[in-house]
């Protein structure tokens, strides 16, 4: 199994701005497909075109543990800011 991460950004006025990101755990056979999907996501994001896309592929040495679903709660907020 492999962890694949993507981060797309654009530098303006010497500051790097995050445009898109994604991460997932995949079998070796899915690596090429996911690199293509993550690249397309970065290049066609509504936040704009990146000037840098970093894709990291890291082999997972241990089988990931499955976690249960977390409960969903709605909290009231005094201010929308």
Contact 20, 55 (CB under 8 A): no
Are 4 and 26 contacting, i.e. CB atoms less than 8 angstroms apart? yes
Residue 61 near residue 54 (C-beta atoms within 8 A)? no
In a domain, 9, yes or no: yes
Sheet order of strands, 2-12 included? 15-26, 2-12, 52-59
Indicate whether 72 belongs to any domain: no
Specify the pLDDT at position 36. Answer: 97
- Which residues form the domain of 27? 2-59
Question: What is the reported pLDDT for 69?
Answer: 93
- How distant, in Å, are the alpha carbons of 27, 48, 72, 73, 74 from that of 78? 45, 33, 20, 16, 13
Asked whether residue 78 is domain-assigned, the answer is no
> Residue 75: what pLDDT?
86
In a domain, 39, yes or no: yes
- Give average pLDDT by consecutive 10-residue segment, the chain, 81 residues: 96 92 95 96 93 96 88 85 63
pLDDT given for residue 44 in this prediction: 94
* Total of domains in the chain: 1
State residue 81's pLDDT score: 63
């Amino acid at each position: 199994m492999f962890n694949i991460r993507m981060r797309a950004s654009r530098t303006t006025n010497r500051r790097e701005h995050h445009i898109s990101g994604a991460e997932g755990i995949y079998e070796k056979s899915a690596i090429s497909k996911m690199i293509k999907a993550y690249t397309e996501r970065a290049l066609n994001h509504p936040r704009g075109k990146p000037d840098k896309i970093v894709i990291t592929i890291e082999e997972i040495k241990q089988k990931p543990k499955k976690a249960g679903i977390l409960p969903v709660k709605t909290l009231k907020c005094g201010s929308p800011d």
